Structure 1
């Protein structure tokens, strides 16, 4: 049943007049002050106690024209639309812009699916210099640490929720992590705030509710201030994780070329540093390695030099070639059949990245006329400028192109003649006497080094 909790306080106006002396508000302002370069703020509002406190604090501290209220309707409860309407009224009362997004959850764990859906919305709502504010507090942090602990997480997982991190083109920030839920409730009651109560919060079939309702109260009865202690532990682990990240970044600089890991240099590291670097490298490509997957990856690295082993990790694959490790998406080989000018004009429509770098002010258009792109074919041969004719197979081997990338490599032709292999050579057929085209074509297969989600709440 839909429930709105309302607390009245005849002294609300008095408290509003004493905002400058409100240490609670001052603590919040200090948190916001740590965020520089933010042009617009987005408050994630569920309508519950925590997010209503966040909304009230943000509305008092930030200009209304730089603040938007965002509600995500998960459509899980019969009252979901009423909660959305409640949030809309709260934004309107404060003169703030309001936006609501309905999401459809993927099959599987409801908690995980709801979280993933929220973060997809947050990322889409982001733009440069925008910051999403979330209402997680110290009790949430304690729950997260225990939740990760019981799942067997490592240092990264036990660091729990970061106070801030990049998200899409903007950032995400949790300004209430130093506040306890009891503090938030006391302030909300003092200020006469209203909020909704989600009945599912008492359902202990959900792991987090079980921790909140059963485990943490039991621990608090034995050790006072348990949430604060667990938050301090998470903070120490976050520091340790930051140091491991710095070490991995340093090792990556020393052991990589073009986002590939050099196995010879990798094996000079200690076993622990190897594991740390491999996890970092895979995480940057969107893969979180389990212990079993890490063991399989090490076996791939140690395989005989005449083999070309591979490891499938969901929609990613790791392969080894000439003492390099590659990580790429598992995908069908693209079938090229397009004019070169069309690919250069709309590169986002094609796999990988084909680019033209001009060497002079001469317009390249006349050179591009009639040139098409196709896939390589058996027996293909070309005549690189200034060199004897060679088979494409030989050129690919010379350039160190892995075998699995060769079939998807674009080949430029005019009629039946190969005039260029982007990133490798320009051929005699595209030259006018001794004059080569006044540009260079480069080809880069799909890169996987996009930042990945941290896997937090």
Structure 2
């Protein structure tokens, strides 16, 4: 169920000291303000200057002034978050931001031994993420959307506002008399996420007022299914071997073959096959009944090939 901003912060119990990702927008400004009041002297802010738009200098200045006012230490990390060919700008910025957070924490461990990092995404962000995943034909891992907490690089990461609406965050911030900055790209409907926010969420709100709760349940169910598939993939990969033995792969159902091959490619070779690539690979595995059968399928920037009794990975 959705909850109030105050209830979400009150139930948030991270290991301290805590770092808060601070963009300067309403959501992160509210989260930092609430955390700094609750745990004075135990909170640090991290601001990432992506270098992607002219307004970024204004975001940084807001963060500096806010942290001075709150007496919260601030670390600013400047980076180039431009996306690679074939990568979405949003994903490139997100990955660069996470890497910057980790680098700041590691570099400042002797001064401020951060145990947890909090990010201010809220219930509307979760709905947008789920709808984006649906629009791209994602599987259960994509439909799981954003977790409330997870571990990365030895740090505990939290999204304490995932059950709070964006409107409630802003109402709370306005009641505190606290200003924030608006990212001008948030209203640019050339971006799919912004079209969802501007055009779909109001319609959903009118037709299904409880959609945030029901969508959150669906994401939670998908997350549980994704966890089970991950466990099965790990078991199957230990059985078929690394690299996978063709005869052992062929003993599995097509669905389990797909699951373990996705896992092998993602975990060992850091790539994800498209649906077409994976289906072609599965067809070739089924057809591979003679010694002379050839497999050479492009996946990402490299190839899955047959090497004797096994599949192998060939990187150009």
Q: Tell me if TM exceeds 0.5.
A: yes
SS at match of 2:12: helix
More strand by share: 1
Deviation per residue, 1:342-396 (Å, 9 max, x gap): xxxxxxxxxxxxxxxxxxxxxxxxxxxxxxxxxxxxxxxxxxxxxxxxxxxxxxx
Q: Is the 8 A contact 2:8 2:160 kept in 1?
A: no
More helix by share: 2
Q: Is the 8 A contact 2:18 2:44 kept in 1?
A: yes
CA distance in 2, matches of 1:310, 1:62: 57
CA distance in 2, matches of 1:273, 1:158: 19
Structure 1 counterpart of 2:59: 83
Structure 2 counterpart of 1:117: 96
Q: Is the 8 A contact 1:32 1:175 kept in 2?
A: no
List runs of 5+ in structure 2 lacking aligned partners.
Answer: none
For the pair 1:213 / 2:192, whether they are aligned, the reply is no
For the pair 1:42 / 2:19, whether they are aligned, the reply is yes
TM-score of the pair, normalised by structure 2: 0.85
CA distance in 1, matches of 2:299, 2:103: 26
List runs of 5+ in structure 1 lacking aligned partners.
Answer: 1-22, 332-457
For the pair 1:69 / 2:48, whether they are aligned, the reply is no
Structure 2 counterpart of 1:293: 277
CA distance in 2, matches of 1:110, 1:79: 17
SS at match of 2:177: coil
Match of 1:325 among 308, 311, 315: 311
SS at match of 1:196: coil
Q: CA deviation at 1:63?
A: 5.0
Give aligned pairs, total: 301
Deviation per residue, 1:263-291 (Å, 9 max, x gap): 22222111111111111221213111211
CA distance in 2, matches of 1:188, 1:231: 24
Q: CA deviation at 1:216?
A: 0.9
Q: CA deviation at 1:149?
A: 0.7
Structure 2 counterpart of 1:341: none
Match of 2:75 among 89, 99, 107: 99
Deviation per residue, 1:150-203 (Å, 9 max, x gap): 111111111111222333343432111111112212222223322111222122
Match of 2:266 among 279, 283, 286: 283
Deviation per residue, 1:101-131 (Å, 9 max, x gap): 2222136643343233323323433449743
SS at match of 1:242: helix
Q: CA deviation at 1:70?
A: 1.0
Q: Is the 8 A contact 2:144 2:223 kept in 1?
A: yes
SS at match of 1:212: helix
Q: CA deviation at 1:54?
A: 1.2
CA distance in 1, matches of 2:258, 2:195: 34
Structure 1 counterpart of 2:237: 252
Structure 2 counterpart of 1:266: 249
In structure 2, the CA distance between the partners of 1:283 and 1:126, relative to structure 1 (3 Å rule), is: farther
CA distance in 1, matches of 2:104, 2:305: 36
1:17-416 correspondence to structure 2 within 5 Å: 24-33=5-14, 38=15, 40-62=17-39, 64=41, 66-104=42-80, 105-106=82-83, 109-127=88-106, 130-256=115-241, 259-285=242-268, 286-301=270-285, 302-303=287-288, 304-307=290-293, 309-327=295-313, 330=315
Deviation per residue, 1:5-35 (Å, 9 max, x gap): xxxxxxxxxxxxxxxxxx84453243325xx
Q: CA deviation at 1:44?
A: 0.9
CA RMSD across the alignment: 2.4
SS at match of 1:161: coil
